[in-house]
Structure 1
Amino acid sequence: MKKLSSILLIFIVLLLPLHAGGNQEKQTGSTPELHANRNLKYVFLFIGDGMALPQINAAEAYLMAKEEKDSPVKLSFSQFPVTGMCTTYSANSYITDSAAAATALASGRKTANGILNMDESKKTTFKTIAEFLHEKGFKIGIISTVSIDHATPAAFYAHQPSRGNYYEISLELAKSGFEFFAGGGLKDPEGKKSKKEGEKNNALEEAKKAGYKILNSIKDIEGLSKNDAEKVIVMNPVLSSSSLAMPYKIDRDKTSLNLADFTKKAIEFLENPKGFFIMVEGGKIDWACHANDAVAAIHDVLDFNSAVEAALDFAKIHPDETLIVVTGDHETGGLTMGFAGTRYSSAFSKLTKQKLSFEEFNKIIDKYKEKENLTVEDLLPVLKENFGLEDLSIREKDLLENAIHASINNATSQDEASYLLYGGYEPITVTITHIINNRAGLGWTSYSHTAVPVPVYAKGPGAEVFTGYYDNTEIPKRLSRLLDTNL
């Protein structure tokens, strides 16, 4: 019996490290045991660039104020049955940029900031989930409110040592064979900004040679059917001349389409018996947060939410075949639901008075700056009209007087004090957005990205695998396992 007891004790001791290791593996958020879902045919991955819980909470608080409700009005995706959280750090920085974050979401691999689907040495390329699925017969759609060669959309089809290689990225777009690109345009289709030497072929012409039909009018876009072409590049009729991005939602009129319009058209164009994978990015949530313009960001979150609703409408028709995953690539701006000046109180209704984005207001400020000896009093009528700002406090007037001085004297981001106050943006405009945000009870900590985790929401077959706390690289890995693809 003593001998038997000793053998059992040794056996238990040998098993303990294996048991402990198994628990450790679960705690670090490794891919859970799951099996392919044979019914799954249609997959949506929605990425709110710069969107974390504060941006979502702010949008819901805005709706509460606008609709005069007693509690926050939930967005469609924040009501999904499955919720998780993921970390966003890159291979070389605790605070990621969009290229490294999008690489993680597309290929399940870490890389350094600024790199698209290549390792840190810039020698090994990563294959993306979109590329794997395309080889399996899935049709692919890539949609964004910013240029479709920008970091997040590019990460699903391009492999470049620098996210700034817009020309090279656009050539990869043409070679990808993906069936549907939509939203913004291409930043450098002629290669004028490219370091590549020699004669360059226009990327849009290369896309046409590869069989792409290019559309940029509302009539042509709305009339597009799957019988018209096999592959399309669909650009919003109104694009910024510098960024080739769509206007902020708050600034759009009837000459522009919305993110939901492009999502609906992608569904219509891509639906087929073998299935599709559609990535939709709300790219300008990030841009608005860089400029600390909460209201512009909120409107783009709501635009993003409408695109998710388009996917939900499709899922109602195909409930057992459609999976929708919603997340962000990182948080931008360090937005907080709370400000020292308002302590425990909030006044979200003040946000509903803003009529335009910081970008459009810059154009108004440029005209005012032509006036000699510009004062705060000169700006009062335009502040009331566009932001509902009146009865400025002594502190707020002082902030604006300093901003006027900085603006007229061309304060730059190279000056540390100026950067902390204005982040390299138009001083008058960013001061105004700070004032209205602070009055509402919102605060900012940065003009850059932050390292806070982002939420993950999922609905549909296999959604349960997205619960828990894990790294952003897990999202495509878990998707690939559900789709029987070895990412």
Structure 2
Amino acid sequence: MKRRMMVPALLGALLTLFVAGNLFAGGAKEPAKPASITAPEKKAVKYVFFFMGDGLAMPQISATEAFANAISSKDVNVKKLGFSQFPVTGLCTTYDAGSLITDSASAGTAFASGHKTLNGVINMDVSKTKTYKTIAEYAKEAGKKVGVVSSVSIDHATPASMYAKVPSRGNYYDIAVQLTESGFDYFGGGGFVQPTGKNKDKPSVFDLAKAKGYVIANTVDGIKNLKPGVGKVIAINPNLQDSSAMKYDIDREAGELALADFVSKGIELLQDGPEGFFLFVEGGKIDWACHANDAASAIKDTLAFDRAVAEAVAFAEKHPDETLILVSGDHETGGMAIGFAGTQYETFFDKITPQKMSYVAFNEKVLQPYKAATPKDTAKLEDLAPAIRDAFGIELTSLNQIQKEQVERAFKRSMGNEVERSIKEEEYLLYGGYEPLTVKLTQIMNQMAGIGWTSYSHTGVPVPVFAKGVQQELFASYYDNTDIFKKLAMAMGVTERVQ
């Protein structure tokens, strides 16, 4: 049996040799070896958008998507944000050199320079002696125009991570001076916390900026009328709120500029450079709202952040082969959760829709004027009932007994009456250092909606990364926040150099 099988094979081999011999005898050349196949070198990204939602992780995204669905449908579903539908999703860790829970300074250092450092430190090592170059600075060296936008003050930790190097994020004046010396082309959004220094005895940052060739625009018309070719620009929203930050979007009035407006203006001013641009954008007040456990304000600012990203998406549609859009968060804030013990397996996101103003606006417009005009021994919670109903949609008379007692105690504490034991730790656990009445009202609203909180600070959970455009595949998988710098450098074709 085996012999029969070998005969055809032997005949086939002899036939092959015969044909090959005749071909070479006739002068035919030996077939050329196939050329080696190499992957084409990837083109460096010309236009880079890097969006950072401060305090933004999956709880904030999921809550916003649940809210967006709840206000338009009674079906149990979510209405996805634009950036959460990007084709590539990754996940990154957030711990820093000294803690599993990072702050914005050390997180900013990680994604801006690719190095771990300590909480409070911006683009310096743990010894606070060595400085790091940022991805924005590399972009500038590569010939790109560079812009930095934030809804909080432009000298705050996250935007500062793109251009500053300081041992303490609290050195606001030093940070602002470094901004003027950065040579970056566009700054937009919030203002400066200490424009003349902590003691108001330093040269004005605005004068320093003008001396470095910056145009300062701080009116709506002035910002809208900026045109390409104007030179370097600092555009400050004329309607600022707390700590030189833009208003919470829930408080923004018609005609006032939004985060998306500063992104679109940045695109307009930066896109005429031959090497493209790098535009960093922070939605900073998502974090601030979550610190205060104000879900409605956090959700509205997340929606505003998504609209800002949409400006980049519209630009990318015109430049699909040259643009990368990256969206992430630096850490989670508040320990936000979809779920509360009192609502068990139910959520009622529509219950936060009546909230018309942030905790900051309620304090400024309602509580502080009342406290200033009313002695604490004559103050009554009922006096504020109409304002509470208007601001939060809460009827005090409809609260259960436990909620009524909690609100009454918080009101007395806001008015200065010592109803809690004078222990700082207990005060912090109850109110987080915020106005007791206001934070208790937002907590009750959140609980009725089925939203829980574990902290007034940051937490250590990983954050998502969404990517769309050229070299988007670099940002898939699970990696460290320092790898964002490395992946951006790879996408832009820049090489890190040791300083």
User: Does structure 2 retain, via aligned residues, the 8 Å contact 1:238–1:255?
Assistant: no
Change (3 A) 1:118 1:445: same
1:319 is the counterpart of 2:320: yes
Deviation at 1:102, TM superposition (A): 0.6
Question: Considering only aligned residues, what root-mean-square deviation do their CA atoms show, in Å?
Answer: 1.7
**Amino acid of the structure 1 residue aligned with 2:126:** E
1:144 corresponds, among 150, 159, 175, to: 150
1:393 is the counterpart of 2:400: yes
TM-score of the superposed pair, with normalisation by structure 2: 0.87
Residue in 1 that maps onto 2:26: none
Residue in 2 that maps onto 1:406: 413
Cα distance in 2 between the residues matched to 1:316 and 1:180: 23
1:184 corresponds, among 179, 187, 190, to: 190
Change (3 A) 1:39 1:286: same
**Amino acid of the structure 2 residue aligned with 1:246:** M
Q: Summarize deviations over 1:182-214 as a string: whole Å, max 9, x none.
A: 0011111212348xxxx7332211111111000
Residue in 2 that maps onto 1:9: none
User: Does structure 2 retain, via aligned residues, the 8 Å contact 1:114–1:163?
Assistant: yes
Cα distance in 1 between the residues matched to 2:158 and 2:140: 18
Deviation at 1:66, TM superposition (A): 1.5
* Secondary structure, aligned partner of 1:121: coil
Residue in 2 that maps onto 1:444: 453
Change (3 A) 1:366 1:202: closer
Residue in 1 that maps onto 2:52: 47
Deviation at 1:273, TM superposition (A): 2.4
Residue in 2 that maps onto 1:30: none
* Secondary structure, aligned partner of 2:338: coil
Residue in 1 that maps onto 2:25: none
**Amino acid of the structure 2 residue aligned with 1:340:** A
* Matched residues, number: 448
User: Does structure 2 retain, via aligned residues, the 8 Å contact 1:88–1:454?
Assistant: yes
User: Does structure 2 retain, via aligned residues, the 8 Å contact 1:374–1:404?
Assistant: no
User: Does structure 2 retain, via aligned residues, the 8 Å contact 1:36–1:484?
Assistant: no
Residue in 2 that maps onto 1:282: 283
Deviation at 1:374, TM superposition (A): 3.3
Cα distance in 2 between the residues matched to 1:191 and 1:365: 30
User: Does structure 2 retain, via aligned residues, the 8 Å contact 1:129–1:476?
Assistant: yes
Cα distance in 1 between the residues matched to 2:198 and 2:354: 42
What pairs with 1:21-40 in structure 2 (closer than 5 Å)?
Answer: 37-38=42-43, 40=45
**Amino acid of the structure 2 residue aligned with 1:47:** M
Residue in 2 that maps onto 1:273: 274
Residue in 1 that maps onto 2:62: 57
Q: Summarize deviations over 1:99-143 as a string: whole Å, max 9, x none.
A: 000111100110000001000101100000100110110000100
Cα distance in 2 between the residues matched to 1:39 and 1:331: 31
Change (3 A) 1:479 1:414: farther
1:456 corresponds, among 465, 478, 483, to: 465
* Secondary structure, aligned partner of 1:251: coil
Residue in 2 that maps onto 1:80: 86
Change (3 A) 1:378 1:202: closer
Residue in 2 that maps onto 1:235: 236
Residue in 2 that maps onto 1:361: 362
Cα distance in 2 between the residues matched to 1:443 and 1:357: 18
Deviation at 1:454, TM superposition (A): 0.6
Residue in 1 that maps onto 2:296: 295
Larger Rg belongs to: 2
**Amino acid of the structure 2 residue aligned with 1:98:** S
Q: Summarize deviations over 1:241-284 as a string: whole Å, max 9, x none.
A: x6111111110113520010000000010003211000000001
Cα distance in 2 between the residues matched to 1:138 and 1:76: 27
* Secondary structure, aligned partner of 2:379: coil
* Secondary structure, aligned partner of 1:44: strand
User: Does structure 1 retain, via aligned residues, the 8 Å contact 2:44–2:492?
Assistant: no
* Secondary structure, aligned partner of 2:452: coil
**Amino acid of the structure 2 residue aligned with 1:215:** A
Residue in 1 that maps onto 2:379: 374
Q: Summarize deviations over 1:257-316 as a string: whole Å, max 9, x none.
A: 001000000001000321100000000111111111000111110110000000000000
Deviation at 1:324, TM superposition (A): 0.4
Q: Summarize deviations over 1:224-252 as a string: whole Å, max 9, x none.
A: 1112x210000001113x61111111101
Deviation at 1:36, TM superposition (A): 6.6
Change (3 A) 1:69 1:43: farther
Unaligned runs of 5+ in 1: 1-33
* Deviates most, 376-385 or 462-471: 376-385
**Amino acid of the structure 2 residue aligned with 1:142:** V
Cα distance in 1 between the residues matched to 2:387 and 2:491: 54
Cα distance in 1 between the residues matched to 2:423 and 2:139: 45
Residue in 1 that maps onto 2:11: none
Q: Summarize deviations over 1:70-125 as a string: whole Å, max 9, x none.
A: 22111000001110111101111111010000111100110000001000101100
**Amino acid of the structure 1 residue aligned with 2:274:** P
Q: Summarize deviations over 1:427-446 as a string: whole Å, max 9, x none.
A: 00000000000000001000
What pairs with 1:120-269 in structure 2 (closer than 5 Å)?
Answer: 120-193=126-199, 200-227=202-229, 229-240=230-241, 243-269=243-269
TM-score of the superposed pair, with normalisation by structure 1: 0.89
Change (3 A) 1:174 1:343: same
Deviation at 1:403, TM superposition (A): 0.6
1:68 is the counterpart of 2:68: no
Cα distance in 2 between the residues matched to 1:178 and 1:106: 15
**Amino acid of the structure 2 residue aligned with 1:298:** I
Q: Summarize deviations over 1:366-418 as a string: whole Å, max 9, x none.
A: 23342644344333322222211121111110110111222122679961111
* Secondary structure, aligned partner of 1:311: helix
Cα distance in 2 between the residues matched to 1:463 and 1:286: 26
**Amino acid of the structure 2 residue aligned with 1:104:** A
User: Does structure 1 retain, via aligned residues, the 8 Å contact 2:44–2:493?
Assistant: no
User: Does structure 2 retain, via aligned residues, the 8 Å contact 1:36–1:483?
Assistant: no
Unaligned runs of 5+ in 2: 1-38
Residue in 1 that maps onto 2:485: 476
Residue in 2 that maps onto 1:335: 336
User: Does structure 2 retain, via aligned residues, the 8 Å contact 1:37–1:461?
Assistant: no
